[in-house]
């Protein structure tokens, strides 16, 4: 078996972490049990480009239980957990191409290795795998039954490809499933972004002015958690509805130019480019900290920061780079502007990835079970999968809900009854 990982000797620790995460993934465990019996993915070659974490390992084991012949590569150069990668290779015989801190060239070599596995199904987190197949392996497009996409930025890229007529195979917007973004993007990113910032810096959030760029699902989750820890939260937005929502949730809303001199900690989570630029950094306080939790490391203009600074980057603590401005003020950039929750912490907790990855596994099965290949385009996850995942998650949490009575069903379907 081919693979490229940091060190196979790390496998024992990785296995312990994979098993620990599995305890908190009851819905995925049920999918795995059924897949093991029914083998819906039997003989199907799959390549997945995901953050190589303990939770992803449990998704990989589920797909393997379903009969898939799977290869994995990283969807971010900093997010790989080397011990998990080692265990996937040693204990579960899954080829992995991922090493924490890999350079740009190695990152793309790993993506190519996953593509050369000759998948008929792909899974992506940010659409790097799909876009590489389109640009460098276009002959493979016809044989691909479908690709699952995990994150907002990936879905945006895929919809742009579909709009331009460039998309060559069907993709499923798993990110857009409510069982994914309502929980993973909000509660997962919310908690793990706080976790990443604290692990990287050890700062106290209470009393700090925390500036959040973007009040989407991720921004809402992070905002609610920062407030819970005593921070004064400021939101910057470009969408008037989201801005209103933030204001009515009780946060201060202002343009980045006004927030820049006030903030102690800045975190971008927009999926956009150059949200924090040199003109903002120029007016920041001495000691201001910048981090990003959006998909790509383009939200903070790092080249602009380097040009603006008199000196830096100087690593003053693991994953904390200091830049000194002309007048001696210091600003700090965390994790080179990459996803802070995955670079400095462990990504989302297993309990929330349970829902995202059960949705991923079931969407994969749905793609394979179609009588004919789905039409080329971006498809939503079927409602019955979302219903199943949410009901089982509730059950695993011992939460019961009411059912509509016959009278209520009739009432809700009728238009005759009014005032
Ligand atoms: N860190 C993680 O683990 C993780 C998890 C899920 C999603 N993501 C990524 O986080 C990003 C946001 O995801 P989401 O689901 O919250 O998306 P979303 O579309 O729900 O929200 C993004 C928000 O950013 C706003 N925005 C865009 N440009 C802006 C700008 N210049 N200034 C201020 N606001 C701006 C948009 O109006 C929108 O409200 C994406 O890149 C997504 O892929 C990261």
Average pLDDT, the chain: 97
- Average pLDDT (291-319) is 97
Question: How does pLDDT run across 21-76, given as a tens digit for each residue?
Answer: 999 999 999 999 999 999 999 999 999 999 999 999 999 999 999 999 999 999 99
- pLDDT at position 417 is 82
Q: If you measure from the C-alpha of residue 216 to the centroid of ligand 1, how many angstroms do you get, rounded to a whole number? A: 5
Q: Is 218 in the pocket of ligand 1 (CB under 6 A)?
A: yes
Rounded (10°) angle between helices 54-65 and 82-92:
20
Cβ atoms of 359 and 386 closer than 8 Å: yes
Q: Is 346 in the pocket of ligand 1 (CB under 6 A)?
A: no
Residue with CA closest to ligand 1 atom 6: 185
Q: Structure pTM? A: 0.93
Q: Is 275 in the pocket of ligand 1 (CB under 6 A)?
A: yes
Q: Quick check: helix, strand or coil at residue 74?
A: strand
Q: Is 238 in the pocket of ligand 1 (CB under 6 A)?
A: yes
Question: How does pLDDT run across 116-168, given as a tens digit for each residue?
Answer: 999 999 999 999 999 999 999 999 999 999 999 999 999 999 999 999 999 99
Q: Is 249 in the pocket of ligand 1 (CB under 6 A)?
A: no
Question: How does pLDDT run across 1-24, given as a tens digit for each residue?
Answer: 899 999 999 999 999 999 999 999
Q: Is 206 exposed, middle or buried (0-12, 13-18, 19+ CB in 10 A)?
A: exposed
User: Does the structure show a pLDDT above 90 at 175?
Assistant: yes
Q: If you measure from the C-alpha of residue 225 to the centroid of ligand 1, how many angstroms do you get, rounded to a whole number? A: 17
416: pLDDT confidence band, cut at 50, 70 and 90? confident
Q: If you measure from the C-alpha of residue 268 to the centroid of ligand 1, how many angstroms do you get, rounded to a whole number? A: 8
User: Does the structure show a pLDDT above 90 at 419?
Assistant: no
Question: How does pLDDT run across 328-339, given as a tens digit for each residue?
Answer: 999 999 999 999
Q: Where are the alpha helices (DSSP H) in 39-143?
A: 54-65, 82-92, 104-115, 128-136
- Average pLDDT (247-267) is 98
User: Does the structure show a pLDDT above 90 at 418?
Assistant: no
């Amino acid at each position: 078996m081919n693979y490229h990982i940091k060190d196979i000797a790390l496998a024992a620790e990785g296995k312990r972490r994979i098993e620990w995460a599995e305890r908190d993934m009851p819905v995925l465990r049920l999918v795995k049990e059924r897949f093991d019996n029914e083998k819906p993915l039997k003989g199907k070659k799959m390549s997945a480009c995901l953050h190589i974490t303990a939770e992803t390992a449990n998704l990989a084991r589920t797909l393997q239980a379903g009969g898939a012949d799977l290869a994995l590569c990283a969807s971010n150069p900093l997010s790989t957990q080397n011990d998990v990668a080692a265990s996937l290779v040693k204990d579960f015989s899954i080829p992995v191409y991922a090493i924490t801190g890999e350079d740009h060239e190695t990152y793309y070599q790993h993506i190519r290795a996953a593509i050369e596995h000759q998948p008929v199904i792909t899974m992506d987190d940010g659409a790097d795998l799909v876009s590489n197949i389109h640009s460098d392996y276009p002959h493979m497009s016809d044989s691909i039954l479908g690709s699952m996409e995990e994150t907002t930025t990936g879905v945006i890229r895929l919809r742009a490809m579909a709009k331009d007529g460039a998309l060559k195979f069907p993709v499923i917007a798993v990110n857009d499933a409510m069982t994914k973004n309502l929980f993973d993007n909000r509660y997962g990113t919310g908690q793990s972004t706080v976790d990443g910032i604290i692990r990287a810096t050890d700062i106290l959030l209470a009393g700090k002015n925390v500036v959040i760029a973007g009040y989407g699902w991720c921004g809402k989750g992070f905002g609610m958690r920062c407030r819970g820890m005593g921070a004064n939260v400021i939101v910057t937005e470009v969408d008037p509805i989201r801005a209103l929502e933030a204001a009515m949730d009780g946060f201060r809303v202002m343009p980045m130019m006004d927030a820049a001199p006030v903030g102690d900690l800045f975190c971008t989570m927009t999926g956009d480019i150059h949200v924090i630029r040199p003109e903002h950094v120029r007016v920041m306080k001495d000691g201001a900290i910048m981090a990003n939790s959006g998909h790509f490391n383009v939200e903070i203009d790092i080249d602009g920061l380097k040009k603006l600074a008199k000196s830096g980057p100087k690593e003053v603590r693991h994953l904390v780079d200091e830049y000194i401005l002309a007048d001696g003020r210091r600003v700090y950039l965390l994790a080179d502007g990459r996803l802070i929750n995955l670079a400095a912490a462990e990504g989302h907790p297993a309990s929330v990835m349970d829902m995202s990855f059960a949705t991923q596994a079931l969407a994969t099965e749905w793609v394979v079970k179609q009588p004919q290949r789905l039409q080329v385009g971006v498809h939503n996850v079927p409602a019955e999968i979302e219903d199943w995942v949410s009901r089982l998650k509730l059950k695993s949490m011992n939460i019961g809900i009411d059912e509509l009575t016959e009278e209520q069903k009739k009432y809700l379907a009728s238009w005759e009854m009014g005032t």
